[in-house]
Each structure stands twice: as C-alpha cells, then as structure tokens.
Amino acid sequence: MSQREYAFTDADFKRLRHLVSEHTGISLSEAKRDLVYGRLSKRLRAHGLNSFSAYTDYLTSNPDTEFEEFTNAITTNLTSFFRESHHFDYLRESVLPELKNRNQGNRRIRIWSAGCSTGEEPYSIAISLMESFPELDNWDVRILATDLDTNCLQHAAAGIYGLERVETMSKDRLRRWFRKGRGELADKVQVDNKLKELITFKQLNLMGEWPMRGPFDIIFCRNVVIYFDKPTQRVLFDRYAKLASDDAHLFLGHSESLFNVTEKFKLIAKTVYRRST
Ligand SMILES: C[S@@+](CC[C@H](N)C(=O)[O-])C[C@H]1O[C@@H](n2cnc3c(N)ncnc32)[C@H](O)[C@@H]1O
C-alpha cells in the first residue's frame, strides 16, 4: 500500500466531516475520505503542518483566515455554459413570456443563481434573457449570483474563460456575447459587459444569514443540494419558499428532487418546480 505523506486517522476525518457539514451543509460520506485528503493536503503544505490533526487545530484556532481556504478546497465546482440545456429552453419558451405578462405593472424581474460556481450558469441565464427579451432595456431586471467559494466568484466576476469552455456554443452566440482575448489572453474569451451589467456576484453561504429581501421570480439552485442531507435540504427549500414570489419557478439539478423534502414547491416539468400556495 502506498505510504501517505500525512497522518490522516478516522478521528481526523470525523472531525473534518463535522466541521464541513456544520459550516457548509455539505455532507461527506465515507467514500469522500481520499477526496478530503487530496484537497486538504495542499493546506497542510501551505502552513508547513505535518498531520491532519495539526491542521484541524490550526483551522479551529484561526477561523477568520483559514475557513475560507478550507471551504474553497472542499467545494465541488463543476459547471458549464447552458448545462442541462432544457432548462434554458424552458426559461425562454415558458417562464419569461409568462413573467413579461404578469410583471407588466412593475416591469421588474429578479432571478437568483444560488451556487453559481465560476459563473457559467448566471451568464447562460443572462444570454437567454437578452436573446429572448428585446424590451429588457425598459425593465428592471437583475440576476443575483451567489456562491460560498470566493475563488469561483472571482473567476465568475472576471468573466474570462478558456476557449474549450465555449466550444459547444453556436458561432452566432459566441460572436454576440464573447470577445476574443488578446496577448496573454489569446486562448481565452471574455463575456460582453452587457451580460455582466445584469448580474451581481456576491459571496453567500446558503447555511448562513441571507441579507436579500426578494422576492425572486426565478431561483436556480442546481447541483448544489446533491451534497446536502435531507434535513438540511428541507430547511433550505423552506427558506427559498419565503423569498420566492407567488408562483416563482425553481430549477434543480438533473439528479435532485423535492420528493419527501418539501411541498412548498410542486413539480411542473423535468426538474422545474413552482412555488405552491
Ligand atoms: C457543482 S457546483 C454547481 C454550479 C451550477 N449551479 C451548475 O449547476 O452548473 C456547486 C456549487 O455550490 C456551491 N456551494 C456548496 N455549498 C454551498 C453553500 N453552503 N453555500 C453556497 N454555495 C455552496 C459550491 O461552492 C459550488 O460552486
């Protein structure tokens, strides 16, 4: 068996698991032991520590500086532009036309991308809005994009992506919404400022306080709660329901479901839910 660089006992894993779950809601199964070792080893290296118990002591004694690094290392940030593309079709074809009618009075639309990772999701929402909503300029439309991971948010706010991230996008869309980088950024694209102007990126822990008042017409929370246990999901969806407008839409990830979690949202299409009264 290969020798590990650092001591990592059952007790270390248990302690770290508890800290992760308490702070982020992420529930780490036994199968995630190697992943935790791999992701946190670099934090031990950064501080010149030689065991996980020394790291956990360091973490709990220096929460103001180390917790951010710790959670950034633990979160899984996989995402892509127009991931689960049927959601964006549904947004364009059903949700936005209905909202245009319903909110004609105040001409206001609020969308929340909760767990936005590196920004591909909120930019895909912004592109869908701009392409299907020509009257947008005369409306008060905002997308709030939040995540716990500060590295992801920095990337998201910069809006600079490798060419491989946009290779499946149509040429038209690419030309319209992305600028080709130059010099050092020659192998990258940058999103158009018109998209950036629609979005506010903010760090927010879904387990903590939420400063926003809402109400949100649309909430995207995709591929986030898959890492949370059911009781944590229940509390989270009850909180979403309180911040959602009547009839708001909620989009979940492909393997997520509200069955046996909450009745405050009802299923209306594939992984699309609606606030029930
Ligand atoms: C797999 S990504 C999903 C990204 C995007 N929604 C999508 O479906 O492509 C999950 C994101 O949830 C974020 N996350 C996990 N726990 C969180 C928490 N307690 N509060 C806020 N964001 C969290 C992670 O940092 C990560 O960026």
Residue nearest to atom 7 of ligand 1 (CA): 79
Same domain, 70 and 93: no
Q: How many domains does the chain have?
A: 2
| Whole-number pLDDT of residue 1 | 43
Residue-level pLDDT at 137:
87
Residues 19 and 143 in one domain: no
Shortest-distance atom of ligand 1 to CA 207: 19
Query: What distance in Å separates the CA atoms of residue 216 and residue 73, rounded to the nearest whole number?
Result: 30
Distance CA 271, CA 262 (A): 14
Residues of the chain with pLDDT under 50: 1
Output the domain CATH number for residue 17.
1.10.155.10
Which residue has the CA at smallest separation from atom 13 of ligand 1? 115
The pair of structure tokens assigned to 183 is: 């010099």
Catalytic residue among 15, 33, 39, 234: 39
170 neighbors 178 (Cβ within 8 angstroms): no
Q: Is residue 65 domain-shared with residue 122, that is, in the same domain?
A: no
What pLDDT, on a 0 to 100 scale, did the predictor assign at position 134? 85
Distance 138 CA to ligand 1 centre (A): 32
Residue 145 exposed, middle or buried by CB count within 10 Å (0-12, 13-18, 19+) = buried
Phi, psi of 101 (to 5 degrees): -70, -50
Can you tell me which atom of ligand 1 is nearest the CA of 117? 27
β strands within the chain, DSSP E: 108-114, 140-147, 160-162, 178-180, 188-191, 199-203, 216-221, 244-252, 265-269, 272-275
pLDDT in tens, 133-170: 888 889 999 999 999 999 999 999 999 999 999 999 99
State the pTM of this model.
Answer: 0.96
Q: Are residues 270 and 139 in the same domain?
A: yes
Ligand 1 pocket, residues with Cβ under 6 angstroms: 24-26, 75-79, 83, 115-117, 121, 147-149, 152, 205-207, 222-224, 253
In terms of domains, do 100 and 44 share one? no
Nearest ligand 1 atom to the CA of 149 is: 25
> Ligand 1 centroid to 182 CA: how many Å?
31
List C-alpha distances in Å: 270 to 84, 90, 258: 10, 10, 12
Domain limits for position 22 = 10-74
Model pLDDT, residue 2: 56
Question: Per-residue pLDDT tens for 84-126?
Answer: 999 999 999 999 999 999 999 999 999 999 999 999 999 999 9
Do the domain assignments include residue 34? yes
CA–centroid distance, 94 to ligand 1, in Å, is 26
In the chain the first and final C-alpha atoms are separated, in Å, by 57
CATH code, 119:
3.40.50.150
Catalytic status, residue 192: no
> Order of strands across the sheet with 188-191?
160-162, 188-191, 178-180
Cβ neighbours of 173 (radius 10 Å): 14
Burial of 46 (0-12, 13-18, 19+ CB in 10 A): exposed
Catalytic site includes residue 147: yes
User: Of the candidates 47, 74, 101, which is a domain's last residue?
Assistant: 74
Q: Give dist(CA 219, CA 221) in Å, integer.
A: 6
- Same domain, residue pair 249 and 269: yes
Tokens of 187: 């192998």
State in Å: Cα 116 to ligand 1 middle: 6
Q: How many CA atoms lie within 13 A of 49 on its CB side?
A: 18
pLDDT of residue 135: 86
Q: Do the domain assignments include residue 266?
A: yes
Considering the domain architecture, whether residues 135 and 256 belong to the same structural domain is answered as: yes
Report the separation in Å between the CA atom of 106 and the middle of ligand 1, taken as the mean of its atom positions: 31
Kindly report the protein residue whose alpha carbon is nearest to atom 24 of ligand 1.
Answer: 75
